[in-house]
Amino acid sequence: MDLTTQQRIALIESVKRCTARPEFTAQFYERFLAADPAIPAYFANTDFAKQQRMLAHSLSLMVRAGVRGNTLSRELIEVADGHGVQGMNIPAHMYDAWVGALVYAAGRVDPEFSVDLMVAWRTFFTAQVALFVAHAKPS
């Protein structure tokens, strides 16, 4: 399903409101790490302050590349390689938890969140994650 221009504009504004607030990425990681008992072990040595900045940066890269067409930014293609079989080998099903945590955090943090925005977040980031997973090629 493609988003309308209006939905894309509303989504960009929502992403900006969320990434401007530190509690957004904090809520994301709290939810994501609780979504699957196998996830926390991957982040055993992670600096979460840095990781939270990476997340906000990844979302803005996705928005910038994704709204121009259904493409993934060059920088994220490299990040995806590091998540694939040659790197951390993240299982494909963990990406569903990633999108779920993202939509949850947006719903908690964006004061203007709505059902329409929920659909826009889920549709847009599911498509971006599919491109990321296609590059990551999990085993």
**Residue closer to ligand HEM, measured from CB, 95 or 121:** 95
Give min distance, CB of 55 to ligand HEM, in A: 7
Residue nearest to ligand HEM (CB): 46
Tokens of 23: 């509690």
Q: How many CA atoms lie within 13 A of 113 on its CB side?
A: 18
DSSP H stretches of helix in 1-139: 5-19, 22-34, 48-66, 74-83, 94-109, 115-136
Instruction: Enter the DSSP assignment of 99.
Output: H
The answer to whether 12 and 63 are in contact (CB under 8 A) is yes
Question: Closest distance between ligand HEM and the C-beta of residue 10, in Å?
Answer: 22
Contact residue for ligand HEM among 3, 35, 54, 77 (CB under 6 A): 54
What's the CA gap between 129 and 3, in Å, rounded?
16
58 in contact with ligand HEM (CB under 6 A):
yes
Which residue in this structure is represented by tokens 């509690």? 23
User: What track of x and - describes contact with ligand HEM for positions 19 through 48 (by CB under 6 A)?
Assistant: --------------------x--xx-xx--
Question: Applying CB under 6 A, which residues contact ligand HEM?
Answer: 39, 42-43, 45-46, 51, 54, 58, 76, 79, 82-83, 88, 90, 94-95, 98, 129, 132
